[in-house]
Amino acid sequence: MTRQDLVVVLDNYARFTEITLPTKSQYSTFADEAEIAGYAKEAIESFFKAGIINGKPGNRFDPQGEATRAEFSAMLMRFIETAE
């Protein structure tokens, strides 16, 4: 699953279960922002602000890249901790 699709799935779950994500930081656009699909932009911004995602070196998100198990685990753990 791509990184952007993973964020969208988790964001849809948060909306369905009425979880409100906190705003811990300001959103700064990624260097590869133009590669993020329109349907994923709002979810990625929300998850960045909540501290669930932070991108890759070089201020990139790599939205089309496949999420590794480690990335998925870290993102899921931060999501669960944030949603508590």
Q: Where are the domains of the chain?
A: 3-83
Structure token digits, residue 14: 């948060």
Helix, strand or coil for residue 66? strand
The model's pTM is 0.93
CA–CA gap between residue 31 and residue 43 (Å, rounded): 17
Structure token digits, residue 25: 């930081």
What are 34-72's pLDDT values in tens digits?
Answer: 999 999 999 999 999 999 999 899 999 999 999 999 999
DSSP state of 59: T
